[in-house]
Amino acid sequence: MSSCVKIEDFRRRARRRLPRMVFDYLEGGAAGERGLSRNREAFSKHLFEARRLTDVSHRDASASLFGKRYPLPLAIAPTGINGVLRPGGDLMLARAAARHGIPFCLSTASTSTIEEVATASDGEKWFQLYVLHREQGMLFVKRALDAGYTTLILTVDVAVNGKRERDMRSGFKVPFRLSPRIALDAALHPLWSASQIRHGLPELANFATAQATDASSQAALMNRQMDASFDWAAFAQLRNAWPHKLILKGLNSLAEVGLAERAGADAVILSNHGGRQLEDVAAPIDTLRAVAGKCKMPLLLDSGIRSGADVVKGMAAGAQLCLLGRATLYGLAADGEAGVCDVIKMIASEIDTTLALTGYPRVSEIGPEALLAAH
């Protein structure tokens, strides 16, 4: 993958390898996709204020969360249906994260089970839970606990799915229904088709039960289990049930971060789900600049991160770690586990260069003074 010089190159490779329908699932945002664009534009709006003549001969990209130090200020964000990009996609992401010493977060909607991922990777694993009915949620909590996941992430911006127009047009859903258009799309991408045929079409593996043995019944089960009535009282029950660190993902305002803090969350991921849920909301990097310093809880960031410079901006704005969503998925789709490793290495190298050029040798010590005042 040496010919890739930026994340956009991995994105192009992913687009070439995947059928249009699958690429659109990976890439798409909600409604007219203004949120998707806003996330990216926000990163270009925040500018560095570099220091000069500081010693940057030794640079350190390590960062810590909850007292644990990681070699890079990164984690891999939870993403569903990874097996449609590459069979075994969850396992590849988990192993690549472990190789680089960063946490991997497995989605509720994964295509490998909680237990398979635990066996495949000895790295740090987090489990992402959707707002599910209590009994189903507690079942997953117990499985994640038994399998050694260290941190639970509750995603709170999916009371229902966002309106993803690309998926509505293409007919993307689990299980796949073969229309002539989808069959042609697959035929034009033979490498992808061959790998999917060899391994079998992906299933919502965590929902497999004696009653839900195929993708269709698993998807129906997952839809039935989504609980749009989940509220702060339900969160309190989850808080009691999970003995380790519990992070809320999908908050995007100071007021909500305050509520999370009072409700006993250990940290918050400022996120708008990569622009896939509600279209007209703030870019989380903007929210982070407004929230940082006004709460005691660690803040993490995702949505729109496509370079090491973006990560350094996130850290300067007050993030403790930044999560990669589409960036690592481009690598996965382009070249499997090696592609994910290449993306992490590229971002690590860009972080290093950015630290040298901004005059801040340690990413953990960079703060808002490294950014021009927000306006």
Ligand X SMILES: Cc1cc2nc3c(=O)[nH]c(=O)nc-3n(C[C@H](O)[C@H](O)[C@H](O)COP(=O)(O)O)c2cc1C
Name the binding residues for glyoxylate.
25, 164, 273, 276
Stretch touching ligand X by CB under 6 A, among 44-52, 61-69, 259-267, 322-330: 322-330
- For residues 333 and 16, give the distance between their C-alpha atoms in angstroms, rounded to a whole number: 10
Q: State yes or no: residue 326 binds ligand X (CB under 6 A).
A: yes
78 binds ligand X (CB under 6 A): yes
Among 74-82, 190-198, 341-349, 364-372, the segment contacting ligand X (CB under 6 A): 74-82
How far, in Å, CA of 31 to CA of 128, rounded? 24
Q: Which residues make beta-bridge pairs with 321?
A: 300
Give yes or no for residue 287 binding ligand X (CB under 6 A): no
Q: How far apart are CA 224 and CA 217, in angstroms?
A: 10
Stretch that binds ligand X, among 173-181, 192-200, 268-276, 289-297 (CB under 6 A): 268-276
Closest CA to 226 of 118, 25, 80, 125: 80
Site for ligand X in 144-173 (CB under 6 A): 155
Binding flag, residue 325, ligand X (CB under 6 A): yes
Q: Is 309 exposed, middle or buried (0-12, 13-18, 19+ CB in 10 A)?
A: buried
Rounded Cα gap, residues 353 and 144, in angstroms: 37
- 209 contact partners, CB below 8 Å, separation of at least 6: 221
DSSP state of 205: G
**With respect to ligand X, which residue has the nearer C-beta, 343 or 370?**
343
Interacting span for ligand X (CB under 6 A) from 91-99, 205-213, 285-293, 303-311:
303-311
Rounded to the nearest whole angstrom, what is the least distance from the CB of residue 293 to ligand X in the complex? 23
Minimum Å distance from CB 369 to ligand X?
A: 26
Q: Please give the backbone phi and psi of residue 14, each rounded to the nearest 5 degrees, phi first.
A: -60, -45
In this structure, are strands 74-76 and 125-129 parallel, antiparallel, or unpaired? unpaired
In whole angstroms, the minimum distance from the beta carbon of 52 to ligand X comes to 32
Q: Which of 46, 100, 189, 273 is catalytic?
A: 273
Q: Which of 303, 307, 320, 358 binds ligand X (CB under 6 A)?
A: 303
Contact residue for ligand X among 20, 39, 102, 267 (CB under 6 A): 39
Q: Which is nearer to ligand X, 206 or 361 (CB)?
A: 206
**Is 358 among the residues that bind ligand X (CB under 6 A)?**
no
Q: Is 375 an active-site residue?
A: no
Nearest to ligand X of 279, 302 (CB atom): 302
Candidate list 14, 26, 132, 300; residue touching ligand X; CB under 6 A: 26
Closest approach, Cβ 249 to ligand X, in A, equals: 6
* 254-262 and 284-291 helices, crossing angle to 10°: 70
CA-CA distance, 122 to 278, in Å (whole number)? 35
Alpha helices in the chain (DSSP H): 7-17, 20-27, 34-45, 89-99, 114-120, 134-146, 165-170, 180-187, 190-199, 215-225, 232-241, 254-262, 284-291, 308-317, 326-358
Which residues 80-139 are close enough to bind ligand X by CB under 6 A? 80, 107, 109, 128
- If the CB atoms of residues 86 and 361 are measured against ligand X, the closer one turns out to be 86
Which parts of this chain interact with ligand X (CB under 6 A)? 26, 39, 77-80, 107, 109, 128, 155, 249, 271, 273-274, 276, 302-305, 325-327
Active site residues: 273
